[in-house]
Amino acid sequence: MILNTQEETFIHNNITYKVGGKIYANEHSYYAGLVGTIIEIRDGSDKETENDGPDIYCSFEPPVFPADRQIIEEHFSALYRMPKTIDDISLDMVIMAPEDLLPVEIFDNYCSEIPMFIVTENWAHEGETGVKNYYYSAIEDAKIKILFLLAGEKYEGLVAEWSEDETTEQEIKDFSFSCWVTGHFCEEHYQITLAKAKLLYSPFIRKTVSPDGYVPIT
């Protein structure tokens, strides 16, 4: 059987591989780290290899980042026992085994979404600026961090320095605090905010974090 028409699919071990679909070469492959497209799928007597599953023909995009290019080159140099550059490595119509590939549909759905709370502290003073982000899985911890930061600022930071200055202003909302010199916010300010975001949480990481898995905080 040969599948080479766009959108034709082949199911192997409950995973669907689609002609024209995007795939990622995982760590089991010499092409690990590359993204490509499925060009053709062959099974049965039409296979060219002795793979247990189908032969999946892929066309890979060249590595984007230098570090990834170096890894690929090192893998193939070791395989052929001679120096290989990316120009020496075929990226078109590469026969891959299913276990070496991650279809984009699987990647888009295998991560769980969990809440993340970001405390952002930014300031500007006497020509210098800075930003710090703190990331928390529970809003209670994020709020505690804000209280500690504000306490430090009011004791010996910019807020303390400006406390006696009648030209400064403050704005306090449910999830933000701002203090600045009137008319000069961009040049002289201290601000802290709390924002909620979503973190895509890999099941592989879950195994290393807790034997019981992650329990989202709502």
Residue 114 near residue 198, CB atoms below 8 Å = yes
In sequence order, what are the residues at sequence separation of 6 or more whose Cβ sits closer than 8 angstroms to the Cβ of residue 161?
none
pLDDT for 209 beyond 80: no
Return mean pLDDT, the chain.
Answer: 87
**If DSSP codes are grouped into helix, strand and coil, which group holds residue 86?**
helix
Per the model's pLDDT, the better-predicted residue between 112 and 66 turns out to be: 66
Mean local confidence (pLDDT), 29-54:
91
> Token pair for residue 6?
């766009």
Residue 20 near residue 4, CB atoms below 8 Å = no
Taken as a whole, the chain contains a residue count of: 218
**CA 80: distance to chain centroid?**
33
Strands (E), the chain: 2-3, 9-12, 15-18, 22-25, 35-42, 55-60, 94-96, 101-103, 112-125, 128-136, 168-173, 176-181, 189-201
Radius of gyration of the chain (CA): 27
pLDDT at 113: 82
Domain spans in the chain, listed from the N-terminal domain onward = 2-109, 113-209
Which residue from 36, 23, 31, 27 is spatially nearest to 69, judged by alpha carbons?
31
Provide the pLDDT confidence category of residue 203 given band limits of 50, 70 and 90: low
Q: What angle do CA 175, 115, 214 make, to 5 degrees?
A: 140
Provide the pLDDT confidence category of residue 177 given band limits of 50, 70 and 90: very high
Which residue from 209, 195, 42 is spatially nearest to 121, judged by alpha carbons?
195
Provide the pLDDT confidence category of residue 216 given band limits of 50, 70 and 90: very low
pLDDT for 160 beyond 80: yes
Question: H/E element holding 217?
Answer: none
pLDDT at 213: 46
Q: What is the pLDDT of residues 16-34, one digit of tens each?
A: 999 999 999 988 888 988 9
- Whole-prediction pTM: 0.63
Per the model's pLDDT, the better-predicted residue between 99 and 215 turns out to be: 99
